[in-house]
């Protein structure tokens, strides 16, 4: 029985990851900040039976420690660090009025917390057979792709996540742990908004295929949902 842990599983891309992996027969540890209010996730868990809902604010070190001790001795094949935050979309994300508090919050959620969570669960990953970590990044974190400027807060948080992804892939190679930064496409979710180009079903189907094909050779790469490499 394979096991996957997904953060931010109550809505959007995380909920879709939970659905598809559970339907594929995986045991899914699905984290949400608000277990009691996560109606769609709870309904899915009741229907499928192989989803365990856990409470986690990814920025809370005590809660991370709680998950670590709760999962002590539990193998996890794949860790999907999906929870993310865009930060402000107004002028406070633009040069001239950059909001320092929001910037730090966004860096905490998108960059620091996923790495701290991976750090906490490394023993569980080493007990698994697949040994894979997928970080939900964004093409907006690509320096090469940035032709429009702006979005300082979100872009820098994902670029920093990419840098950490690369280091982690190198550092964990000797333990056969594979690490990838994923661009999910522009996806119809609360974050992606109504003009997005693809639905979460298509995005997650593609990313599952990328994760499935992830090897020690492709570890440390930045890949879109359709398998296309993204330039750093």
CA 6/CA 190 separation, integer angstroms:
18
CA 160/CA 196 separation, integer angstroms:
24
Q: Stretches 21-29, 79-87, 92-100, 122-130: which one binds ligand NDP (CB under 6 A)?
A: 79-87
Minimum CB separation of residue 176 from ligand NDP in Å reads: 26
Q: Write out the two tokens for 12.
A: 């959007």
Which C-beta is closer to ligand NDP: that of 2 or that of 11?
11
Q: Does 33 bind ligand NDP (CB under 6 A)?
A: yes
CA 56/CA 156 separation, integer angstroms:
24
Minimum CB separation of residue 143 from ligand NDP in Å reads: 16
Where do the H-state alpha helices sit in 71-199? 100-107, 113-120, 122-127, 152-172
Q: Does 11 bind ligand NDP (CB under 6 A)?
A: yes
Which C-beta is closer to ligand NDP: that of 169 or that of 181?
181
Q: Does 145 bind ligand NDP (CB under 6 A)?
A: no
CB atoms under 10 Å from CB of 149, counted, come to 9
Q: Does 27 bind ligand NDP (CB under 6 A)?
A: no
Minimum CB separation of residue 188 from ligand NDP in Å reads: 7
Q: Does 212 bind ligand NDP (CB under 6 A)?
A: no
Task: With beta carbons less than 8 A apart as the criterion, state whether 213 and 35 touch.
Answer: no
Which C-beta is closer to ligand NDP: that of 4 or that of 75?
4
**Which of 66, 30, 18 lies closest to 207, judged by CA?**
18
Task: With beta carbons less than 8 A apart as the criterion, state whether 86 and 110 touch.
Answer: no
How many residues belong to the site for ligand NDP (CB under 6 A)? 28
Q: How many residues does the chain have?
A: 232
Q: Stretches 18-26, 39-47, 81-89, 119-127: which one binds ligand NDP (CB under 6 A)?
A: 81-89
Beta-carbon contacts of 76 under 8 Å, excluding residues fewer than 6 positions away, are 3, 4, 5, 29, 121, 124, 125, 127, 128
Q: Does 190 bind ligand NDP (CB under 6 A)?
A: yes
Q: Of the candidates 20, 27, 142, 189, which one interacts with ligand NDP according to CB under 6 A?
A: 189
CA 31/CA 50 separation, integer angstroms:
14
Q: Stretches 19-27, 77-85, 123-131, 218-226: which one binds ligand NDP (CB under 6 A)?
A: 77-85
Three-state secondary structure call for residue 179: strand
Minimum CB separation of residue 24 from ligand NDP in Å reads: 19
Residues that bind ligand NDP (CB under 6 A): 7-8, 10-14, 33-34, 56-59, 82-85, 109, 136, 138, 184, 186-187, 189-192, 196
């Amino acid at each position: 029985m394979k096991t996957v842990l997904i953060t931010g599983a109550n809505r959007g891309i995380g909920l879709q990851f939970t659905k598809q992996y559970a339907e594929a027969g995986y045991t899914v540890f699905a984290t949400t900040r608000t277990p009691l209010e996560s109606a769609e996730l709870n309904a899915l868990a009741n229907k499928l039976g192989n989803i365990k809902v856990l409470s986690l604010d990814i920025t809370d070190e005590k809660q991370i420690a709680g998950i670590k001790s709760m999962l002590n001795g539990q193998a996890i094949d794949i860790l999907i660090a999906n929870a993310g935050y865009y930060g402000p979309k107004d002028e406070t994300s633009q040069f001239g009025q950059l909001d320092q508090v929001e910037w730090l919050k966004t860096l905490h959620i998108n960059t620091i917390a996923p790495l701290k969570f991976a750090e906490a669960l490394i023993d569980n990953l080493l007990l698994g057979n697949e040994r894979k970590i997928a970080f939900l990044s964004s093409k907006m974190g690509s320096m090469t792709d940035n032709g429009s400027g702006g979005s300082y807060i979100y872009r820098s948080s994902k670029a920093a996540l990419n840098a950490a992804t690369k280091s982690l892939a190198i550092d964990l190679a000797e333990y056969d742990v594979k690490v990838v930064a994923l661009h999910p496409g522009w996806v119809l979710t609360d974050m992606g908004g109504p003009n997005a180009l693809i639905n979460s079903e298509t995005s997650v189907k593609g990313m599952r295929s990328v994760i499935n094909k992830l090897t020690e050779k492709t570890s440390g790469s930045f890949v879109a949902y359709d398998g296309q490499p993204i330039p750093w």
